[in-house]
A and B are shown apart, each in its own frame.
Chain A
């Protein structure tokens, strides 16, 4: 029999409903797995007692026949989400010791539906990063074995500085690693430029960034408000569909959250793609793209065609400007969003002779180098004399990018298929000393979606020659996550779920 923590979320749900297992034993299996997997550094705060209490309550509700849609299902929560009374630091020193007295809307929705919280998951500091190496708690190791490594080698690295182990991607690296390593049935994540989709692709999991406005941002530590969006990472398309349905929904506390009914996404699975048109954007065939990624993409196209979809070549001409424009808009908003971390009211405070020195010392010590870099870039592009040249132009590009997509959708394309990342996962430490732009290039296929506010989903399409997972990305019309789930389900069925090699960490 499969270990309880290796069930999919949907399987566990069905077994709980059939009273084959209890929420308490399901939760305990996860707590045990988490304890054994500390070498991965996926959880930065474990809440086992709280989890058991919640699980017991779930069992009682199940016994009374009052089970919610996620009743008794143990989940991990990205450290970006405010969780009442529990560790919430967005993996930054500046929020040292911060425990909010409030619960984010998205996590509150999950608990309302019966889910169980296992703990808080590692991430890049303030969600700024593509490898989970900027966390103040250190890097997360992917459960995937680096090509050519032995279990012993990996174990040794895992006990040490983790150099050479694979990154799980970022910023939702803890979420992706925990899901891949069966340390939760699913996890909340967030995506500002690819932070759900890239880690999902690197770890062979499924992640969806829904349409901007689908989930409430209330209680999520803000990185770039106009781009941030909550979403789930899980092991199957179905599991993502189940989680997103609970996470999403109108929230009057977020002015950018849309008042629309949330569909039952699980129903979209199995829908036929016959006659649906899938767009293939030529601009995503970037210079130097590996043959491997190209092959993956072609395979994805075949899956779609075989399922009856019509393949259409499309053009999204402003794609190449998306990354530079993103790296103006996102830091600009971040520089302002992070101004509240000043040492005055909560979190870290370094004393100074006067208020200015206190600010300087607190922020210098509290923010890591990548966060400082983006605050500086953001401050620069918004400053007098540069605003028009950078921020205003970036916003114009953003409009053009959105228009590219609108044109394609207007011409009858139902969804767009691209690779999720330009490569498979790389090693911890491999890119940290290099030009930061090299790290930023990880987001080249994903940022356009945030810039346009569209839904995007990453689903495993197969393995690289080295045996590492590779992901395909589906991009949809605004608020048409259902088509993405239908198409992703086809890919999942066709490609088969990627199988994680035996664990080296436990």
Chain B
């Protein structure tokens, strides 16, 4: 779908509609035990400078040697993005001076990246899907970290991150709104997590975005863009796009022009600030790193990795819709995280009806997890237990209302809890014995003749009767039976 078609995304300005054009460079930390060119650990949170090899500290005479696992992870990611895998790629040096860059250059891939063009399908809303082009993916080293708060007179440097492998994933300028930008990063993160090539933990800096934003009048050529560096949450990405687009529109509507520059997003103030202009941009003097031979591998490696790839979210979603008859939205929610999808399938495997299981998870269990700040992995209720609950509701063993009480109990009891046993022991079973229900119905009708009169004129009174019956039966009466009995006895 081309953006020009979608007028709903335009931003209203004083002079009319504006279209935002967004492209992104995502830096995703490769999941690997050791760094891209050294054996030092990539573990997060070590004491400063505790994960630093001689290579990472750029001691004289030290040489980089490629970590093959990082190469495999990049290829897996490329396959997950349905992208061209380049069997020959080249590492270049990007030269600049900075204290947290010990070599005085970053080893990156400039002209010949390991992964070429690909595509990501993004669900912006349950009904709107866009395709975002991937221009390239390349491998590069992360830098260290300058610490300015350790001493009043000096800055310190922590090289633990120095040399950690990053994948830079560059999108085409195919995004047209903050919402699309958020949805794209969300989807990319989902894919990376499915592949196991990046943990996607934005709080720890495993996923960072440089966001390129420009605005134009619909149909006009591309405007001058600004690059917003290092935005580190999906929410901030949306905010940064929003405020940057409005800033540019205000300038243009004032008759000004946009300077191509690098900016920083300040979430506290909700604004972007100039970092450096195009004139101040570094001349990185890229050239092929002579310490490394071109990176070459066989198609068989690619085929091998492709055959071992897990089912990816798009395929899983399609399968959930066709095999389980789930709605697009529900399937989309369930496949967002691989663990969630697996949990759902475990519930079905345990015997729950798929649609009922999906409903239960999305409308009940996820809410509880969210409230408790837990995830599907850390939550206290097993897939087996949730499956049992859903099965009991579907089989009319318990009512939906009781199910909510039941999960409360199971939640407290922990993953070993057996919901069937609890229902049995606590007498939570639904009353389906029509005799007992009928007795309760009759008692309520007899006790409330005035309401019976009112109900004849106003059928919505039925709800009040249902409530009374449920109260009388401790919530265990089958609501459908109650409804039917009441209707016939009240003559509705």
> Which applies to chain A's interface (DSSP): helix, strand, loop or mixed?
loop
Which chain A residue lies CB-closest to B295?
A: A255
Q: Which of B57, B66, B95, B99 contacts A336 (CB 8 A)?
A: B95
- Does A132 lie at the interface of the complex (its beta carbon under 8 Å from any beta carbon of B)? no
Known: A340-B103, A382-B95. A387 touches B287 (CB 8 A): yes
Which chain A residue lies CB-closest to B293?
A: A255
A342 / chain B contacts, CB cutoff of 8 Å: 97, 99, 104
- Does A454 lie at the interface of the complex (its beta carbon under 8 Å from any beta carbon of B)? no
Cα of A414 to Cα of B133 in the assembled complex, Å = 54
Which chain B residue lies CB-closest to A227?
A: B290
Known: A340-B104, A344-B99, A344-B157. A100 touches B291 (CB 8 A): no
Whether the pair A344, B290 counts as a contact (CB closer than 8 A) is: no
Q: Nearest Cβ in chain A — how far from B278, in angstroms?
A: 12
A345 / chain B contacts, CB cutoff of 8 Å: 57-59, 102
Cα of A60 to Cα of B16 in the assembled complex, Å = 92
Whether the pair A102, B285 counts as a contact (CB closer than 8 A) is: no
- Does B255 lie at the interface of the complex (its beta carbon under 8 Å from any beta carbon of A)? no
Whether the pair A379, B104 counts as a contact (CB closer than 8 A) is: no
Cα of A95 to Cα of B61 in the assembled complex, Å = 12
* Contacts of A202-244 to chain B: CB distance below 8 A: 217-222, 224-226
Known: A336-B285, A344-B102. A95 touches B65 (CB 8 A): no
- Does B292 lie at the interface of the complex (its beta carbon under 8 Å from any beta carbon of A)? yes
Whether the pair A82, B290 counts as a contact (CB closer than 8 A) is: no
Whether the pair B60, A95 counts as a contact (CB closer than 8 A) is: yes
Cα of A253 to Cα of B37 in the assembled complex, Å = 10
Whether the pair A252, B65 counts as a contact (CB closer than 8 A) is: yes
Whether the pair B63, A382 counts as a contact (CB closer than 8 A) is: no
Contact with B along A330-348 (1 / 0, CB 8 A): 0011011011101011100
Q: Which of B59, B292, B293 contacts A100 (CB 8 A)?
A: B59
Whether the pair A255, B61 counts as a contact (CB closer than 8 A) is: no
Cα of A26 to Cα of B287 in the assembled complex, Å = 49
Cα of A143 to Cα of B187 in the assembled complex, Å = 72
Q: Nearest Cβ in chain A — how far from B456, in angstroms?
A: 87
- Does B254 lie at the interface of the complex (its beta carbon under 8 Å from any beta carbon of A)? no
Q: Which of A217, A355, A383 contacts B63 (CB 8 A)?
A: A217
Known: A339-B105, A344-B102. A88 touches B283 (CB 8 A): no
Known: A255-B65, A391-B287. A339 touches B95 (CB 8 A): yes
Q: Nearest Cβ in chain A — how far from B488, in angstroms?
A: 85
Which chain A residue lies CB-closest to B37?
A: A255
Q: Nearest Cβ in chain A — how far from B214, in angstroms?
A: 23
Which chain B residue lies CB-closest to A220?
A: B61
Cα of A333 to Cα of B155 in the assembled complex, Å = 30
Q: Which of B65, B97, B290 contacts A224 (CB 8 A)?
A: B290
- Does A494 lie at the interface of the complex (its beta carbon under 8 Å from any beta carbon of B)? no
- Does B64 lie at the interface of the complex (its beta carbon under 8 Å from any beta carbon of A)? yes
Whether the pair B60, A82 counts as a contact (CB closer than 8 A) is: yes
A226 / chain B contacts, CB cutoff of 8 Å: 290
Known: A336-B93, A339-B95. A346 touches B59 (CB 8 A): yes
- Does B327 lie at the interface of the complex (its beta carbon under 8 Å from any beta carbon of A)? no
Q: Nearest Cβ in chain A — how far from B151, in angstroms?
A: 14
Whether the pair A382, B59 counts as a contact (CB closer than 8 A) is: no
A252 / chain B contacts, CB cutoff of 8 Å: 65
Known: A255-B66, A344-B102. A217 touches B61 (CB 8 A): yes
Q: Nearest Cβ in chain A — how far from B368, in angstroms?
A: 51
B102 / chain A contacts, CB cutoff of 8 Å: 340, 344-345
- Does A57 lie at the interface of the complex (its beta carbon under 8 Å from any beta carbon of B)? no
A222 / chain B contacts, CB cutoff of 8 Å: 60-61, 291
- Does A3 lie at the interface of the complex (its beta carbon under 8 Å from any beta carbon of B)? no
Whether the pair A253, B105 counts as a contact (CB closer than 8 A) is: no
Q: Nearest Cβ in chain A — how far from B426, in angstroms?
A: 65
* Contacts of B52-97 to chain A: CB distance below 8 A: 54, 57-66, 93, 95, 97
B60 / chain A contacts, CB cutoff of 8 Å: 82, 88, 90, 95, 98, 100, 221-222, 340
Contact with B along A254-288 (1 / 0, CB 8 A): 11100000000000000000000000000000000
Whether the pair A218, B97 counts as a contact (CB closer than 8 A) is: no
Whether the pair B61, A339 counts as a contact (CB closer than 8 A) is: no
Whether the pair A253, B104 counts as a contact (CB closer than 8 A) is: no
Task: Known A-B contacts: A102-B54, A339-B103, A355-B99. Give 15 more (CB < 8 A).
Answer: A81-B61, A90-B60, A98-B60, A100-B59, A100-B61, A219-B61, A222-B61, A225-B290, A255-B291, A336-B285, A339-B105, A340-B104, A344-B157, A346-B59, A355-B155
What are 20 contact pairs spanning A and B, CB under 8 A? A82-B61, A90-B60, A100-B61, A102-B59, A222-B60, A253-B63, A255-B63, A255-B66, A255-B292, A336-B105, A336-B287, A339-B95, A339-B105, A342-B97, A342-B99, A344-B157, A345-B59, A384-B283, A384-B285, A387-B285
